[in-house]
Structure 1
Amino acid sequence: MPIRPGDTLPDIELQVMGENGPKKVRTSELFAGKKVVLFAVPGAFTPTCSAAHLPGFVVNADKLRAKGVDSIICTSVNDTFVMDAWGKAHNAEDLVMLADGLGEFAKALDLTQDRTASQMGIRSQRYAMIVNDVTVELLNIDAQGLDQTSAETILDAL
C-alpha cells in the first residue's frame, strides 16, 4: 500500500551532489524538524519533467518559502550526476536534487511504476508531498499530466 497522509517517511540513504562529489544523505536528516515540499518525477531530462514540472518549482520557490516551506526537494530514480546536471540546467540551485539511483525510496513509498516497455525500467510515479517533520501531510499523485503535482497546486494546498 502506498504511503499516505499521517504516515512517517521511511529512513533511506540516498545521494546529493556535494562539493567533492556524491554525498550520502538520509531522509531522516533531510526532513526532520522541517516543513518540506517533496516532488518526484519519472526521469530527469524527460520532456514533461524538464518543460514544466521542475521549472514550476524553481519559479515558485520563493512563494513556497513565504508559506513556511523550509526545503524543496526533487527526487527521481536517476544517479547523482544526472540529478546535479539537470538541476544546474534548470537553475534549481535553491532546490535539493535528491538522487534515488536504485529506486529504493520510491519502492519504500510504494510509488513506483514500470517503464520497461519504454526502456526506462522501474521509475518513480509523479507525485508531490507536503511533509512536516518526517510525517506526510499531503500526497498528490498524477498518473498523467501535472494537475495534482504542480508547484501551483502545492502552493494552493499550503
Structure 2
Amino acid sequence: MKTGQKLPDVTFHTRVRDESIGGPNPFRWEDKTTADYFGGKRVVLFSLPGAFTPTCSTYQLPGFENGFADFAAQGIDEIYCMSVNDSFVMNQWAKAQGLQNVKVIPDGSGEFTRRMGMLVRKDNLGFGLRSWRYAAVVKDGVIEAWFEEPGLCDNHGEDPYGVSSPETVLNWLVEANKEQAA
C-alpha cells in the first residue's frame, strides 16, 4: 500500500533533558525533523492511538522494547514509537514504561500522521484526532514494508491489533532477510 513512499518532511517539537538547565525540570525544547529520525538508518516505526492506553502499554510498546535485540539482529538501527500526543506526554509514558531501547516521537499536532493518511477521529472515546495503528520498516526515509490494522475509519468501535504487532514485523524482517540472502 505505502511501500516505496517517502515519509513526509515534518518538524517534531520535542523536549530533551539538559542538565545545564538545572532545577527539578531540566528539559529544553528541541526541534527534530523527519530526516533527523529516519535519514541514513533502517528503522521500525510504529504508531498507535495514544500513550498510556491499554493495548499500547500492555502489548505493542513492551513487545518492541523487549524484542529490540531480535530486531537489531535483523538489521534494524532504531525502533520509534509515534503517537498524536505532545512531547510531555510521550516523555512521561517512556519513563513510566522504563524504555531503554524504543525511542518515542511526539506528533503533537498530528501533522506527520495526517500526511501519512493515518489521522482518524476518536471522538467516540473522547480522544479527538489520533493515529490509526500501524507499523512500518523504513530505510533512509522510504517505506520498505507497511503493516496497517484493518478497518481504518473515524470513530471505529474497536481497536484492531495484530497486523502491526512486534511479532508480525519481526517475522517479515526474518523472511525478507532470508530471501535477500538466497
The TM-score normalised by the length of structure 2 is: 0.82
Task: Spell out, residue by residue over 1:56-114, the C-alpha distance to the aligned partner (whole angstroms, 9 max, x if none).
Answer: 10110111111110110000000101101111111213221100000001001011111
Structure 1 distance, partners of 2:55, 2:79, is 19
The 1:80/1:147 distance shift into structure 2, 3 A limit, reads same
Structure 2 distance, partners of 1:116, 1:142, is 19
Q: How much identity, in percent, do the aligned residues show?
A: 38
The answer to whether the Cα contact below 8 Å between 1:58 and 1:91 also exists between their aligned partners in 2 is no
Counterpart residue identity of residue 36, structure 1? V
Give the deviation of 1:37 after TM superposition.
Answer: 0.1
Structure 1 distance, partners of 2:55, 2:109, is 22
Structure 1 distance, partners of 2:28, 2:161, is 32
1:147 and 2:162 correspond: yes
Structure 1 distance, partners of 2:67, 2:29, is 27
Name the structure where strand makes up a greater proportion of residues: 1
The answer to whether the Cα contact below 8 Å between 1:16 and 1:97 also exists between their aligned partners in 2 is no
Moved over 3 A (4+): none
Gap runs ≥5 in structure 2: 18-26, 151-158, 174-182
> What is the DSSP-based 3-state SS (H/G/I as helix, E as strand, rest coil) of the residue aligned with 1:155?
helix
Alignment of 1:33-112 (within 5 A): 33-112=40-119
Q: How many residues align?
A: 156
Counterpart residue identity of residue 110, structure 2? G
Alignment of 1:3-42 (within 5 A): 4-19=2-17, 20-42=27-49
- Identify which range, 36-45 or 22-31, moves more after superposition: 22-31
> What is the DSSP-based 3-state SS (H/G/I as helix, E as strand, rest coil) of the residue aligned with 2:145?
strand
Larger-gyration structure (1/2): 2
Which structure has more RCO (C-alpha within 8 Å, separation ≥ 6)? 1
Give the deviation of 1:17 after TM superposition.
Answer: 3.3
Give the deviation of 1:16 after TM superposition.
Answer: 3.4
